[in-house]
């Protein structure tokens, strides 16, 4: 799996070309991917890598899952776009399938995760004014520190990450930020103006932080007591990743709305949605919210195929079983270069001993060994391989991590 001299030159050229023509709002690892199948990608020089990032969980079902590709190709040959000015024959099936998967009544299809979050914010505010009776312009939404909900100006207004937020003001008002996992702080922040609590059931970008047991049921209870909507951002945690359809399922919590994205598009097209009951989404009337591409025929065809995969329960079961195996292996490295391991299902946040190397350096060394992973915040790495990965491949990836950790900085 070692790249030759010629390949390195080719790689350097490809990296330079990309840097020449794009704003530097990303700092990608020096890997130029050309093809992929399942859990494996191949770069322009023919080197193969196990994909342990899976497009931040947009690729939960692997690269080019046959059922999803078939759904997309079939739809490409029939109809790709109508706009919501007209109905199309893929729309109702997708919305019904997704609503049933969520155990909810209505769907608002959008494209990106940030748009699903924006939809949640808008609907919660409208619900607050029309149903709860909050005085006009006063609505507040409580969010958690170290959240990641997307990149729009409103969403970064309540980010606590300087890189994501600084110099993008003036910021959208109406948000209160509390410590994640702290029920007392949440109770304190809710008042008569509060329309929603918006949370990730597991904080992904923050480093796969799992809140203390009882926190999420506690959030549900508080929201019920204070007549506040619980908006669950399951864009990264949902759709199989944690070993259940939703991360909230592990604590038997039903939110007032699911915000979904990433894997909903099967790694093929951007598909997102807000899913909730009529008592919440019923506040939207024609013309009050929408998207040109939201719920388009291609998105619906792929989204329906994703729902179909999840209906079998098989991806969730794989994530659960392989996740147990992965976490067991990773735990054995704690004290041997790893400081801590967190997560659920096929999703792990691992803190490397910062004295050994940065997370970035670890990812570079892993890539040299054929494993793609992504660092976050200093010395934390995220592992989130596609749910189609095999146990032996996971073992091999952990072996590579072990070898990397034995390097000296």
Ligand X SMILES: *Cc1c(COP(=O)(O)O)cnc(C)c1O
Smallest distance, Å, CB 204 to ligand X? Answer: 5
Smallest distance, Å, CB 113 to ligand X? Answer: 2
Smallest distance, Å, CB 271 to ligand X? Answer: 10
Smallest distance, Å, CB 353 to ligand X? Answer: 26
| Nearest residue (CB) to ligand X, 269 versus 283 | 269
Q: Kindly give, in sequence order, each residue whose CB lies less than 8 Å from that of residue 29, ignoring residues fewer than 6 positions away.
A: 363, 364, 367, 372, 374
Instruction: Return the SS3 of 142.
Output: strand
String of DSSP letters for 359-385: HHHHHHHHHHTTEE-EEETTTEEEE--
Q: Residues in the site for ligand X, rule: CB under 6 A?
A: 56, 112-114, 117, 148-150, 200, 204, 233, 235-236, 261-262
Residue owning tokens 């001299």 = 5
Q: Count the Cβ atoms, other than its own, within 10 Å of residue 193.
A: 16
Q: What separation, in Å, do the N-terminal and C-terminal C-alpha atoms of the chain show?
A: 23
Active site residues: 148, 233, 262
| Nearest residue (CB) to ligand X, 49 versus 347 | 347
Q: Count the Cβ atoms, other than its own, within 10 Å of residue 363.
A: 23
Q: Kindly give, in sequence order, each residue whose CB lies less than 8 Å from that of residue 118, ignoring residues fewer than 6 positions away.
A: 150, 152, 154, 155
Q: Which residue is nearest to ligand X (CB)?
A: 113
| Nearest residue (CB) to ligand X, 200 versus 375 | 200
Q: What are phi and psi of 34, to 5 degrees?
A: -115, -30
Smallest distance, Å, CB 244 to ligand X? Answer: 16
Cis peptide leading into residue 170 (ω within 30°):
yes
| Nearest residue (CB) to ligand X, 44 versus 177 | 177
Name the residue among 161, 343, 77 with its Cα closest to residue 236. Answer: 343
Beta-strand relationship, 229-233 and 272-276:
unpaired
Alpha-carbon distance of 179 to 160, in angstroms, equals 11
| Nearest residue (CB) to ligand X, 62 versus 113 | 113
Q: What are phi and psi of 193, to 5 degrees?
A: -90, -10
Judge contact between 104 and 276, C-beta under 8 A. Answer: yes
| Nearest residue (CB) to ligand X, 200 versus 351 | 200
| Nearest residue (CB) to ligand X, 39 versus 239 | 239
Query: Could you tell me which residues are beta bridge partners of residue 341?
Result: 350
User: DSSP state, 106?
Assistant: E
Indicate the Cα dihedral angle 305, 273, 106, 386, nearest 10°: 40
Smallest distance, Å, CB 57 to ligand X? Answer: 7
Alpha-carbon distance of 234 to 253, in angstroms, equals 13
Alpha-carbon distance of 317 to 332, in angstroms, equals 23
Smallest distance, Å, CB 203 to ligand X? Answer: 8
């Amino acid at each position: 799996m070692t790249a030759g001299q010629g390949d390195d030159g080719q790689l350097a050229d490809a990296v330079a070309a990309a840097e020449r023509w794009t704003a530097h709002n990303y700092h990608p690892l020096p890997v130029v991917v050309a093809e992929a199948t399942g859990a494996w990608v191949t770069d322009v020089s023919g080197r193969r890598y196990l994909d342990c990032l899976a497009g931040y969980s947009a690729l939960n079902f692997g690269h080019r899952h046959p059922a999803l590709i078939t759904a997309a190709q079939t739809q490409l040959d029939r109809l790709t776009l109508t706009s919501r000015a007209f109905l199309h024959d893929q729309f109702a099936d997708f919305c019904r399938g997704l609503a049933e998967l969520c155990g909810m009544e209505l769907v608002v299809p959008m494209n990106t995760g940030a748009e699903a979050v924006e939809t949640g914010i808008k609907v919660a505010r409208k619900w607050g004014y029309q149903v709860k009776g909050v005085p006009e312009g006063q609505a507040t939404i409580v969010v958690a520190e170290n959240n990641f909900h997307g990149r729009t100006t409103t969403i970064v207004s309540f980010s606590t990450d300087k890189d994501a937020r600084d110099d993008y003001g003036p910021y959208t008002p109406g948000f209160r930020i509390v410590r994640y996992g702290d029920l007392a702080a949440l109770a304190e922040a809710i008042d008569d103006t509060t329309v929603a609590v918006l949370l990730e059931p597991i904080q992904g970008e923050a480093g796969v932080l799992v809140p203390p047991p009882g926190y999420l049921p506690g959030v549900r209870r508080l929201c019920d007591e204070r007549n506040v909507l619980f908006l669950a951002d399951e864009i990264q945690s949902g759709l199989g990743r944690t070993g259940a359809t939703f991360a909230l399922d592990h604590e038997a919590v039903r939110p007032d709305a699911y915000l979904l994205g990433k894997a909903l598009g099967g790694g093929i097209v951007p598909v997102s949605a807000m899913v909730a009951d009529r008592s919440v989404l019923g506040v939207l009337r024609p013309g009050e919210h929408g998207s040109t591409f939201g719920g388009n025929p291609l998105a619906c065809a792929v989204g329906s195929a994703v729902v179909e995969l999840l209906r079998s329960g098989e991806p969730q079961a794989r994530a659960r079983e392989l996740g147990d195996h992965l976490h067991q292996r990773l735990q054995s490295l704690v004290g041997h270069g790893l400081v801590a391991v967190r997560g659920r299902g096929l999703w792990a946040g691992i803190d490397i001993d910062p004295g050994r190397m940065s997370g970035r350096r670890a990812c570079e060394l892993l890539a040299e060994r054929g494993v793609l992973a992504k660092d976050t915040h200093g010395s934390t790495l995220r592992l989130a391989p596609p749910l189609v990965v095999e146990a032996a491949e996971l073992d091999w990836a952990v072996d590579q991590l072990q070898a990397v950790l034995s390097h000296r900085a």
